[in-house]
Chain A
C-alpha cells in the first residue's frame, strides 16, 4: 500500500490486487442458492462477471462471495432450474 510520497513507484505501475475492494456494497439485491433445486451445472459460475460464484471443486454446490457480488442477477436469470432467487438487501 502506498501511503507516503516516498513509497510511490518511479512510474505509475499498479500491481496490487483489487480483491480488497468490497464491491459487495454496491448491491441492493443478493442471490440466494436453493441447494434442493440446484443441479450443479455451474451456469451461474460461468456467467458471473464478478467471479463471485464460488465452486471449490467439481460436485460442490455454488456459494456466493458477498464481498464482491454486485447483485446484477445474471446468475438468477441464467439458472436453468430457478435455484437462485434475488433477495432484497435489508439494512
Chain B
C-alpha cells in the first residue's frame, strides 16, 4: 500500500522537533493531532493559533493542562477568521511582523457557521493562515452532516440506509476562497507529511490571506479501524477523492501527481459510513469524482500554458 519510497538511509524526512506534547485528548487514530503536529513542525514557535469549538478545542487538553508549545486563543464557533484578524491587527500595532497567525477550524466551523467571518477576513486581506482540518462532519458533537460531508456518507443526521441522503458533494470551499481573493491555497493530507510541511511553509512565506484545506481522518466518525486512518487518507489522494494541489497567482498545480487513479470503491469500502452504498451508488460517486478531478486537471493544464 505504501507508495512513498522507503528511506534506506535512516533519515528523518520531516523536522524532528515537536511543538506538541503527548497526553492530548484525541481519539486513537485521529488525524487532527497529526495535522497539528505537522503544522507546528512547519511553522515553528513564532506562531499564534486561534481556534473555535470543535474537536480541536478538546484535543490540546483541559485546563490547566495544555499540549502545544505555542500560544493559543480559544473562542466561539463562528468567528475563527475574525479573531485571527484581531490578533493580527494587535500584532501589527505592536510592530510584530514575524509571527504567523493561524486560524484553525474544522469543516463545519469553516464551510458552514464560520464562512461569513472567513470571507470577511479574506476580503480585508488579513495576513493569516487559515487551516480547515476536514474530517467531513461535525465530529465533536457526534457525527452530524456538515457542508463538507461527501456525497453518500452516513452521519447521524443523514442516516442513509438504502437512500443517499446527501446527493450533492462537499461545498467547493477552495474554489469559494479563490473567488474570494486568497493569495495562496493548498490542500494537504496527513498521509503525505513531507508535502504537508512544504505546502504550509510555502503559505507562510506569502503575505496575505492563505487558505489550507487539510484532510483529517476520523476513525470514530467514519466507522473504520483506527489503524487504517493513514491508509484511507492515502487512498483519498490516490483515488482522486482528495487531490493534493496548490493555487497561487491564478495558477493551479498538483503537489502530488496521481498518474493512474484507483477506483473510489477501494476508498469507500474501508469505511463503515459508506457501507450502505449499492454498486449504482458507488458508480455515482465515481462519476462525481471523475468529473471533479477532470475539471481540476483542466485548471492545472491551463496553468501550464
Contact = CB atoms under 8 A, between A and B. Distances in A.
A49 B65 contact: no
Given A51-B37, A78-B230, A19 B28 contact: no
Contacts of A59: 10
A72 B63 CA distance: 25
Contacts of B20: 51
Given A18-B61, A72-B227, A72-B229, A50 B6 contact: no
B220 to A, nearest CB: 11
Contact of B33 (A16, A17, A49, A55): A49
Contact of A23 (B2, B14, B22, B31): B22
B65 A74 contact: no
A14 B64 contact: yes
B193 interface: yes
Contacts of B305: none
Nearest to B72: A14
A39 B7 CA distance: 9
Given A18-B61, A59-B10, A51 B230 contact: no
Contacts of B28: 26-27, 49, 70-73
A17 B61 CA distance: 9
A85 to B, nearest CB: 12
Interface string B215-255: 00001000001111111000000000000000000000000
B61 to A, nearest CB: 4
B8 A21 contact: no
A20 B226 CA distance: 24
B193 A46 contact: yes
Interface string B158-169: 000000000000
Classify the interface of chain B: helix, strand, loop or mixed.
loop
B65 A42 contact: no
B23 A20 contact: yes
A50 B12 contact: no
A77 B37 contact: no
Nearest to A31: B227
Contacts of B229: 49, 72, 74
Interface in A18-77: 18-23, 26-27, 39-43, 45-47, 49-52, 55, 58-59, 65, 67-68, 70-74, 76-77
A14 B25 CA distance: 15
B26 A17 contact: no
Contact of B8 (A15, A27, A39, A43): A39
Contacts of B7: 41-42
A2 interface: yes
A58 to B, nearest CB: 5
B34 interface: yes
5 contacts: A14-B61, A17-B66, A45-B12, A68-B22, A73-B227
The 10 closest A-B pairs by CB, nearest first: A73-B227, A18-B23, A72-B29, A21-B23, A68-B22, A72-B28, A70-B28, A18-B67, A72-B226, A14-B66
Interface of B: 2, 4, 6-8, 10-14, 18, 20-34, 37, 60-67, 190, 193, 219, 225-231
Interface of A: 1-2, 12, 14-23, 26-27, 39-43, 45-47, 49-52, 55, 58-59, 65, 67-68, 70-74, 76-78, 80, 86
